[in-house]
């Protein structure tokens, strides 16, 4: 099957790591004649601002609607012109436009690499469209307002539908893994909003009797992760809590620079590494591309599942195995204690996949 995939390289180290991910996907496709890609390059970030005046042109968004999925590089939205900073960032626009409600963020420690928790292997299922992030939870406006210059308010939104679908995603993931789900909330204080989230997640769990269910307050969960992260399998959380926890687990597992993620709806998915654009090292050829490459592998695995395509699923697993093998034996990028640049590391992965 040939998949039409958008490619938005973005800002900072984006062009380097997205190019690496495309090269690795091409190498995985060469292993199986049943798999192929049609690449659709599209402008985003500073490239798009210079071309069109917008960080994410409407034409690019419309084209993505005709793609099976896409790879999104990091954006440096804090450096954009003032008019662009007032808008949703490109990632937020795409998550909202295409209802990419499930942000799946694995955190895994790799043999041979330093990690706070060397046995960590968990996944955070983060609800991606509502909660307490103001840029995605209102029908009109951004969900923040100031009644006076000295008072700022934000509105959070939790719905039964949003909670149910991310819970089903989390429990389905757990069935493929170690059959454990931890629900993270703050229902002891925010009784209406997080009370609804907890109630719905527990209700969904009742339909998965083979999956063990626990729930934790967000503050307690941060302590549990530092102390015993290896005990957790799938964690389901609201938007902001899931974002914070996934940064924590990424660092506990070795490096946030290696943390992958996808953002998925029922029909499309976007590969997006969890880290930022790292403008301080952009263009130097030293960026670690693992997070972006593993995000692209997750996109293949998602396509394999949703389209019932074993070739895509096998390619995703092959990339994950190759990454683990190269990280264990080398070469490694500088942030992981090695000396390799982005291109050298990528070439080692391509060579591993060709075996």
Which residues form the catalytic set? 133, 186, 219, 243, 247
Please state, in angstroms and rounded to a whole number, the distance separating the CA atoms of residues 123 and 142. 29
Q: What is the largest CA-CA distance in the chain?
A: 64
């Amino acid at each position: 099957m040939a998949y039409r995939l958008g490619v938005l390289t973005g800002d900072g180290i984006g062009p380097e790591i997205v190019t690496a991910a495309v090269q690795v996907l091409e190498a995985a496709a060469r292993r199986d004649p049943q798999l192929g890609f049609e690449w659709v390059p599209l402008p985003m970030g500073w490239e798009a601002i210079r071309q069109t005046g917008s960080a994410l042109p409407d034409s690019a968004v419309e084209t993505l609607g005709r793609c099976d999925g896409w790879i999104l590089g990091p954006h440096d939205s804090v450096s954009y012109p003032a008019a662009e900073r007032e808008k949703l960032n490109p990632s937020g626009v795409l998550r909202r436009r295409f209802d990419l409600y499930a942000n799946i963020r694995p955190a895994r420690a790799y043999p041979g690499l330093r990690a706070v928790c060397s046995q960590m292997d968990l996944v955070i299922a983060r609800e991606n469209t509502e909660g307490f992030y103001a840029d995605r939870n209102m029908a009109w406006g951004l969900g923040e307002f100031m009644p006076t210059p000295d008072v700022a308010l934000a509105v959070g939104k939790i719905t039964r539908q949003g909670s149910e679908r991310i819970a089903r995603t989390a429990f389905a993931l757990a069935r493929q893994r170690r059959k454990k789900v931890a629900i993270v909330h703050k229902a002891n204080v925010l009784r209406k909003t997080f009370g609804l989230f907890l109630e719905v997640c527990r209700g969904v769990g009742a339909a998965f009797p083979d999956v063990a269910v626990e729930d934790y307050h967000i503050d307690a969960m941060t302590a549990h992760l530092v102390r015993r992260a290896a005990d957790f399998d799938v964690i389901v959380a609201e938007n902001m809590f899931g974002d914070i926890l996934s940064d924590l687990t990424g660092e506990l597992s070795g490096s946030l620079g290696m943390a992958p993620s996808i953002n998925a709806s029922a029909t499309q998915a976007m590969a997006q590494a969890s880290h930022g654009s790292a403008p301080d090292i952009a263009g130097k050829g030293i960026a670690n591309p693992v997070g972006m490459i593993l995000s692209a592998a997750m996109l293949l695995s998602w396509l394999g599942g949703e389209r019932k395509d074993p070739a895509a699923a096998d390619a995703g697993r092959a990339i994950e195995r190759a990454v683990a093998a190269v990280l264990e034996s080398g070469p490694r990028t500088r942030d992981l204690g090695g000396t390799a640049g982005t291109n050298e590391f990528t070439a080692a992965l391509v060579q591993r996949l060709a075996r």
